[in-house]
Amino acid sequence: MTDQLRADVRDHYARAALTVLDGPGCCGGDASGADASGDAIFGPGLYPPGELGPLPAGAVAASLGCGNPTAVADLQPGQTVLDLGSGGGIDVLLAARRVAPGGMAYGLDMTDEMLTLARRNAAEAGVDNARFVKGEIEAIPLPGASVDVVISNCVINLSTEKSLVFAEIARVLRPGGRLGVSDVVADDDLSPADRAERGDFAGCIAGALSFGEYAAGLAEAGLAEIRVTPTHAVGDGLYGAIVAAVKPTAGPGASPREAAAAAGAGLRAARALPPAAGMVLGEAAAGGDRCCGSGSCGG
């Protein structure tokens, strides 16, 4: 089952990459990942337009995320940043600019077609401090303590082995290094069956962790200062959220008490958040062949 789910995810995103690689004009407008009222819930509409202006059209068209992690990652020149599930490379290219001069942005992805697209986009953008590496986020092919900041955009929900992902994040981060991730997160009272009813696994819904599960998983891996903060609704009880954490410089990570407090704060914030305007709850995320809400996956 796990292998089959992973193969489904790879096929799904290979199709998405090919749709962009196969030619211009196939990924515009209506593939923007907006809700019924036109508010962005997935994809390029979640970035300030000025930030995307200098990027190649293919990088913007391939954007399948649920937030803007580089905006909250506080990247500094000279740092090494790693994007888990880098797709067409949008966040790697944005990060590469922020860590220059002297820094390096790595993108990690398991899908060959996405890596081809990302490398093409980096070449078009003239960015020379970005590298795209093939691999799985459950076994990151980088040395321990080699990364200052780990980012990711709507990918960890797609993992079938999230505890391995959290352990790998903790391993590759330098002491004091930070995690800044956008992801889909579920209300704590949604059971796994409730989540599966609202959307499929490859479409970033069925595999979403709850606020409490996310915080507990990161704490278990030894990370601290964990915050899971909803930014916008993407479905009934499902949210785009920013997940932040720090690898402690010394001593154990967050205690279970800290993790529970972080989870509770996130849940309270989520419950206070109204559904995205005009969105029929459950519909936005549950549509057929979606790439994290985008229609750009091809046939």
Task: Pick the closer one to ligand SAM by CB: 118 or 259.
Answer: 118
H or E segment at 131?
A: strand 130-134
86 touching ligand SAM, by CB under 6 A: yes
Choose, by CB under 6 A, the member of 27, 34, 110, 179 that binds ligand SAM: 110
Contact predicate 254/223, CB 8 Å = yes
Task: Pick the closer one to ligand SAM by CB: 9 or 259.
Answer: 9
208 touching ligand SAM, by CB under 6 A: no
Choose, by CB under 6 A, the member of 20, 114, 228, 238 that binds ligand SAM: 114
Contact predicate 64/16, CB 8 Å = yes
DSSP of 160-193: S-HHHHHHHHHHHEEEEEEEEEEEEEE-TT--HH
Q: Which residue is nearest to ligand SAM (CB)?
A: 87
CA dihedral sign of residues 59, 56, 32, 52: positive
Contacting ligand SAM within 123-182 (CB under 6 A): 136-138, 153-155, 158-159
Q: How far is CA 107 from CA 80, 148, 170, 207, in A?
A: 11, 14, 17, 22
Distance CA 140, CA 294 (A): 27
Contact predicate 198/208, CB 8 Å = no
Q: How far is the CB of 258 from ligand SAM (least distance, A)?
A: 27
Q: How far is the CB of 292 from ligand SAM (least distance, A)?
A: 4
Task: Pick the closer one to ligand SAM by CB: 63 or 229.
Answer: 63
Contact predicate 70/98, CB 8 Å = yes
Choose, by CB under 6 A, the member of 31, 90, 245, 259 that binds ligand SAM: 90
63 touching ligand SAM, by CB under 6 A: yes
Task: Pick the closer one to ligand SAM by CB: 183 or 259.
Answer: 183
Q: Which stretch binds ligand SAM (CB under 6 A): 86-94, 98-106, 121-129, 142-150?
A: 86-94
Q: Which string of x and - marks every residue 27-46 that binds ligand SAM (by CB under 6 A)?
A: --------------------
Q: How far is the CB of 90 from ligand SAM (least distance, A)?
A: 5
Contact predicate 182/241, CB 8 Å = yes
Give the gyration radius of the chain's Cα atoms.
Answer: 18
Contact predicate 245/183, CB 8 Å = no
Check residue 274 and report its DSSP letter.
P
Choose, by CB under 6 A, the member of 35, 109, 200, 236 that binds ligand SAM: 109
Q: Which residues bind ligand SAM (CB under 6 A)?
A: 9, 13, 63-65, 85-88, 90-91, 109-111, 114, 136-138, 153-155, 158-159, 204, 291-292
